[in-house]
Structure 1
Amino acid sequence: MENPYLPYPVRIDNITIETEDKNIKTFRFVFLNSEDEQKFFYTPGQFAELSVPGKGEIPIGIASSPTEKGFVAFTVNKVGLVSKHLHSMKEGDVMGIRGPLGNWYPWEKMQGKNIVIIGGGFAFTTLRSSIVYMIQPENRPRFEDISVIYGARNPGLLLYRDKLAEWGKRDDINMHITVDGTDDSEWKYNVGFVPTIAKEKITSSENAIAIICGPPIMIKFTQPVLEELGFPPERIILSLEMRMKCGIGICGHCNIGYQYVCKDGPVFSLAQLRLLPEEY
C-alpha cells in the first residue's frame, strides 16, 4: 500500500491567467514519472492536494478531464500562503500532487438523463472537467440534453473564456452565460444572478439531474429554484470541496455529523445532505 501522504512529483507545463485581476490561474502539470501518471486515475468531480515544498498543500478540484491526456490541470485562486506562492511559480518549476481524492459525480446514474450544470465564479473547475468529459465523442451519446448555466460577478471574472466560446458554438450543449452586472456595451449574454437565470432557462425536471457547484450563497438560492421545478432531492447533486483539509479523513476538519466530506464526498445529493446537520 502506497503512502497516502506522499505526493507525485510534477512539473508546471503551462500557466494560464484566467481573470482580468490575475488572481485566478490555471496550472497544467505533467508527471515526472510515467508510472505516476498511470496511477493518477481520476473521474470528474474528484479533487487533489497541490503540495509545495516548504509552504504546505491545498485541496483543489481537478479542472481537466480524464479524456485530456498527458497532463492534469487545476485552477487556483490566490487567497492564502500556498496559493500565493504557487502563483509566483513559473513554467518548468517542480512541485507535488497528492491524490486523486474523494468521490465523483454519479456518472452511472446520469447516463440517459438530461443534465443541468449550474456553476458560479471560481467553483466552475470540476464542472469544466465534467463538460469536457461529457462532450467527448465517445461519451456524448451516453447523455441526453446538456444545459449549462455559469455566472460570475462581471465578465472579467469568467473562467475558461476560450472554452465557453467553443461550447457556445456547439449544437449539442445549451450554454447560458451570465454576469451579475456589467457596463460592457458589447456584452451579448445574460445579465442577472445565477438563480434568476436558472429559473428562466430551465423549463423542466423531467428525466433530469442537476449538478451545482459554486459559492454557498449561490447554492442557497439556486436549490429552491430546482425544487420548484420538480427536481427531487436525490437528483440535485452538490460538491462541498470548500471544506477540504487533509483529504484522507485524518484531521477531522471536514466532518459533518458522521460523514467525512473528504472521504464520503465531496459530492453529495441533497437527499444525503438533509440527513446531516445543517452545516454545509
Structure 2
Amino acid sequence: MTIANPYVTTPMRIANAIRDLEDVFTLTFDAPSGFAFRPGQFNMLYVHGVGEVAISISGNADEPERLVHTVRSVGTVTRAMATLEVGDMLGVRGPYGSSWPLEEMRGRDVLVIAGGLGLAPLRSAIRHVLARRNDFGRVTLLVGARSPEQLLYREDLEKWRGRFDCRVKLTVDRAGRDWLGNVGVVTTLLASVPLSADTAVLVCGPEPMMRFVVLELRRRGVASSSIWLSMERNMKCGVGLCGHCQFGPLFVCKDGPVHRLDRVSSFLFVREV
C-alpha cells in the first residue's frame, strides 16, 4: 500500500489483544485491503487524545490483513494502549523504514540473535525464512531474556524448534532451580554456532548487547556486510523531519531501523555525551 499522506493516520480496529508478559502485550488489527509491509518495518500507532509511538510490526508479511504489534508498557502512550480491548480503535500510519534483507539472504546460513523484546521486530523475518525453509541453509535462533518468565513468544519458540529444521537456543540472565537451560548473556551461545564470513546475521536487542554481539561475530570472522542490526531511537515523526532519532549522520526512522553493520560501524561504538 502506498502511503498517500505520511502524516494522516488510518483507523484500525483491534481484533485481538493478548497479555504476553506482565508489561508486554500484543495487539492484532484488522488491516485495510491493500495494506502491505516488509519484515523489519514499523508503524506509528496513535491513541486518540494521548499521543503516538513507533512500534515494529511483528506479524507475518504474507498475511498483511493480520497486522500485529507487540508492545512494552513503558510510557504514557503505551500504558494507555495497554488498557484497550477488542473492538477499540487505534490510528495507524505507515509502514515506514527499511527491512530485513530476506532476498539477499537466500541460499545462505541464517543466524538470528534476539535480546528481550528484540524478538518482536525479528518475528516476521523468522516466519518468512521458515515458511521458505528450503531456500536457506542452516537456520539458528539465539534468544536471551532477563529470566525464564521474560521469554517472549514461548509457543512460537517451541513450534519453530519442533516443526522446522531450526536450531533454537535460549539463555537467561538469572533463573531458579527449575530452569535447565543456559544462564548467561546471549553471546555465550555463539561458541556452539558454526559461522562463516557469509553467514547472514540479523540482530535486535538492547544496544549494549548488540555491540558485544558484533564484537564476537567479528572475532569469529563474520563479514560486517553480512550483519544487520535493528536500531531503536525516540521517533516522533517517522519520516525524518523532527531529528529525534538521529543516529550518526542517519535517521533511524528513514534510513533504518534495519542497518547493515558496515554502514554504521564507524559510529555504533561512539559513546553518547
TM-score range with shorter-chain normalisation?
over 0.9
Alignment of 1:208 with 2:203, yes or no, is no
Deviations 1:44-75 (A, max 9, x none): 11111111111111001111111235311101
Deviations 1:113-153 (A, max 9, x none): 101000000111111111111111xx222211110000101
1:196 alignment counterpart? 188
Q: Classify 1:246/1:184 alpha carbon distance in 2 versus 1 (closer, same or farther; 3 Å).
A: farther
Moved more, 201-210 or 41-50: 201-210
CA contact (8 A) 1:121 1:214 kept: yes
Listed as ranges, the gaps of 5+ residues in structure 1 are none
1:130 alignment counterpart? 125
2:99 alignment counterpart? 104
CA contact (8 A) 2:109 2:138 kept: yes
Aligned with 1:179 (options 172, 178, 195): 172
Equivalent AA in structure 1 for residue 23 of structure 2: N
- Alpha-carbon deviation of 1:171? 4.3
Three-state SS of the structure 2 residue aligned to 1:273 is: helix
1:262 alignment counterpart? 253
C-alpha distance in structure 1 between counterparts of 2:60 and 2:232, whole Å: 17
C-alpha distance in structure 1 between counterparts of 2:271 and 2:10, whole Å: 33
Identity %: 36
CA contact (8 A) 2:108 2:137 kept: yes
C-alpha distance in structure 1 between counterparts of 2:61 and 2:177, whole Å: 36
Aligned residue pair count: 269
* TM-score, structure 2 as length reference: 0.93
CA contact (8 A) 1:243 1:261 kept: no
Alignment of 1:15 with 2:17, yes or no, is yes
CA contact (8 A) 2:198 2:222 kept: no
Moved over 6 A (4+): none
- Alpha-carbon deviation of 1:108? 2.1
C-alpha distance in structure 1 between counterparts of 2:259 and 2:102, whole Å: 13
Listed as ranges, the gaps of 5+ residues in structure 2 are none
Equivalent AA in structure 1 for residue 108 of structure 2: K
Deviations 1:240-274 (A, max 9, x none): 13343311011111123332221111111111002
Q: Classify 1:104/1:172 alpha carbon distance in 2 versus 1 (closer, same or farther; 3 Å).
A: same
CA contact (8 A) 2:102 2:125 kept: no
Deviations 1:172-196 (A, max 9, x none): 11100111121042x3332221011
C-alpha distance in structure 1 between counterparts of 2:158 and 2:133, whole Å: 19
1:167 alignment counterpart? 160
Alignment of 1:232-247 (within 5 A): 232-247=223-238
C-alpha distance in structure 2 between counterparts of 1:158 and 1:41, whole Å: 28
Aligned with 1:48 (options 30, 43, 48): 43
2:73 alignment counterpart? 78
C-alpha distance in structure 2 between counterparts of 1:204 and 1:74, whole Å: 31
Equivalent AA in structure 2 for residue 156 of structure 1: E
* TM-score, structure 1 as length reference: 0.91
C-alpha distance in structure 1 between counterparts of 2:259 and 2:271, whole Å: 14
- Alpha-carbon deviation of 1:107? 1.6
CA contact (8 A) 2:130 2:164 kept: no
